[in-house]
Chain A
Amino acid sequence: MLRARGHVLIAVNEEALLAGARDVERALGDLLAEEGLADEIRVIETGDVGVTGRGVVLVVHPDGVRYGNVRVADIAEIVREHLLKGRPVERLRLPLTPTRATGLVRQARIVLENCGRIDPESLDEAIATSAYEAMAKILETKIAPADVIAEVKRSGLRGRGGAGFPTGVKWSFTAPGDVKYIVCNADEGEPGTFKDRLILEGDPHRLLEGMMIAGYAVGASKGYIYVRGEYGLSIRRLQRAIDDARRAGILGKRVLESTFSFDIEIKKGAGAYVCGEETSLIESIEGKRGYPRIKPPYPGAVGLWKKPTVVNNVETLANVPPILLRGADWFRDFGTAGSPGTKVYTILGHVRNPGLIEVEMGTPLRTILDEYGGGVRDGKRFKAALLGGAAGAVISERGLDVPMDFDGPKEYAAVLGSGAILVIDEEASVVDLLHGILRFFRHESCGQCAPCRSGTAVLVELSERIRSGRGTADDLERLVHVAKAMHATSLCPLGQSPILPIQTAVDSFREEFEACMAKPCGARA
């Protein structure tokens, strides 16, 4: 950051923009100039500061005061009272919730350490917070690619996109060849998930460096970032970061004047959930329908244009630079023995403080819900949490104290990646929630294989019958039975997924489903 008496950080992400962040920023700049404070107080655009659902959020440094739901009309008071006279405007202050920004709870910050602190559109600020240092260290001290892979293996980093496959092992499985590719999966489509979006919007250079290191390690010189077509701001910021890095000689031919070359291109998706599956994503980059391929061969052997390809998630790659810079032992200090490091979550639904958090692996859901989410809102009781989006698990009160990591029960392990936690209170209907999930699968089934194409439609039909009070005990059994058959026979994870939300919902809330048979429930009541 530039030298100044104080800084006002304004969170500019998609949410803040639609709450009018630009107008607030303009008003703030105008008034600072008018009051002659423009040189003393700098306004800095940053990514997410860990607060969601609070409109335009400002953070004033050095005091660390956070304001929420700021409107243009509030600017005069903030400038005249706080910035001129040093008296924070209490009515706009966000409660001191134990988030990483307040430092009241131990937050383990690896992936998000710069999000909400730096201007994501400034290469200088990224470099000031050690961007590209790990890459430079590797190139300067000529660390061999095999040693980079060994370090990542030793760190125990596991893929943050889904099931937690060890990243170093994945890299080492890349088949030999002259042409290889690194693909970053930023096709974040799991309902309730937007942690990757906030990483892309908050610290794009971090991701670029992670891809470069991956490329160096496996011998690739080209990377693709496949981003959802709906993520407009992410795409603009990434493109800006790529252009800046190219101009600075960081990306492109002879990276940092070494013999290593690496360049990155963005590929914009066009609205297909299935493209989050790695082989569908590859087909989509190739310009085809996003149909999943039959595995094996895995992308590490036959990937993009039939060349060996590493596909890693955004959060996974964002973990790579600090591991190489600070070492595997440092990384292993966080999290659990089997799943070192941290996990980024978005906590949503009926909680007091929805938002983005990063906590150590192994943190139980109850801690996240109470300490970070602030508990269930409006004094209601917790009923369930949908963990991991549509392809996720319904967790009841009984499951709140299980440590969440990749070695835990499959309800947790299989769905950890997406990091979505959707909380529902006692008044919401699990039957309705499940119905929404099943409709989502029907909509997103790509139609390539029959079990998923027909199965997803049958599931919605059964669920509709149950929900509207026309169902029987047989229908409930069939719901589980069909989903099991789909799990056994579908080509890709999409068709294999519905069993998890169905089984977990029915196991924990069977009485609620059975009550529906007698009379319509949920929204239909």
Chain B
Amino acid sequence: MKELLEKYPPSMESLLDILHELQAAEPRHYLTPDALRAVAVYLNVPLSEVVSTATFYSMYSLVPRGRHIVRICESPPCQLVGADSLLDLLAAHLRVAVGETTEDGVFTLETTSCLGVCGVAPAMMVDDELYGNLTKEKLIGVIADVRRSDAAS
């Protein structure tokens, strides 16, 4: 962790970058209490300031998430072409509500505002990968693929 922190100058300006990297390094994709404390010490600011920033942005989580994060775009261009029913379908398929993690810890289901790939709506992001022109079959197929590669790793 020390090594990671020292890549950035110890000023508040580095905070978002540090949080991005710490979260990416954590298998459960969240900011652990220890990590947040270490950042506060490194930047020499109160822990409350670090937590304040970390809880503002939707890309950060302070609770453990699944090994893979599924984000369904719920902005108007995607809704127009059926994003809502895809979200309902996926929630039922994974047996979780939005924001929850599956029991086996593989997936967390989230929604996101516009991903900026509206030309291929409806769209979603799984971890860093984008998927567009989603249909029910394709959605379930992608989920199955990710589950398979997760089991293999």
Contacts and interface: CB of A to CB of B under 8 A. Distances in A.
A440 B75 contact: yes
Interface in B116-139: 116-121, 125, 128-133
Contact of B12 (A286, A386, A437, A444): A286
Contacts of A443: 74, 111, 113
Contacts of B121: 348
Contacts of B75: 191-192, 390, 436, 440
B60 A15 contact: no
Contacts of B112: 230, 271
A151 interface: no
Interface string B71-105: 00011110110001000000000000000000000
B76 A15 contact: no
A272 B132 contact: no
A288 interface: yes
B80 A287 contact: no
A422 interface: yes
A170 to B, nearest CB: 24
A268 B20 contact: yes
B14 to A, nearest CB: 7
A190 interface: yes
A192 B77 contact: yes
Nearest to A270: B57
A15 B80 contact: no
B79 A229 contact: no
B58 interface: yes
A271 B58 contact: yes
B22 interface: no
B105 to A, nearest CB: 23
Contact of B120 (A15, A197, A444): A15
Contact of B14 (A188, A271, A287, A440): A287
A287 to B, nearest CB: 3
Contacts of B59: 229, 270-271
Interface residues of B, number: 42
Contact of B116 (A228, A287, A386, A446): A228
A188 B116 contact: yes
Interface string B29-69: 00000000000000000000100110011111000000000
Most buried by A among B20, B56, B129: B56
Contacts of A192: 75-77, 114, 118
Contact of A436 (B15, B49, B76): B76
Contacts of B115: 230
Contact of B130 (A17, A272, A428): A17
B117 A15 contact: yes
Contact of A286 (B13, B20, B117, B129): B13
Interface in A127-141: none
B19 interface: yes
A520 to B, nearest CB: 15
Contacts of B57: 269-272, 290
Interface in A1-24: 14-15, 17-19
B144 interface: no
B1 to A, nearest CB: 18
Contact of B79 (A17, A389, A420, A432): A432
Given A18-B130, A287-B53, A289-B56, A437 B113 contact: no
A433 interface: yes
A444 B58 CA distance: 10
Contact of A349 (B60, B80, B133): B80
Nearest to A304: B13
A399 B14 CA distance: 47
B17 interface: yes
B77 to A, nearest CB: 5
Contact of B118 (A194, A287, A432, A439): A194
A355 interface: yes
A386 B118 CA distance: 14
B16 interface: yes
Most buried by A among B53, B76, B80: B76
A191 B117 CA distance: 10
Given A18-B117, A289-B53, A346-B118, 4 more contacts: A14-B130, A194-B119, A228-B116, A230-B112
10 nearest A-B residue pairs (beta carbon): A52-B119, A287-B15, A270-B57, A287-B12, A191-B75, A271-B58, A271-B59, A289-B56, A194-B116, A191-B114
14 contacts: A19-B120, A53-B119, A188-B116, A192-B76, A193-B116, A267-B16, A270-B59, A288-B15, A289-B52, A348-B77, A350-B80, A389-B114, A436-B80, A443-B74
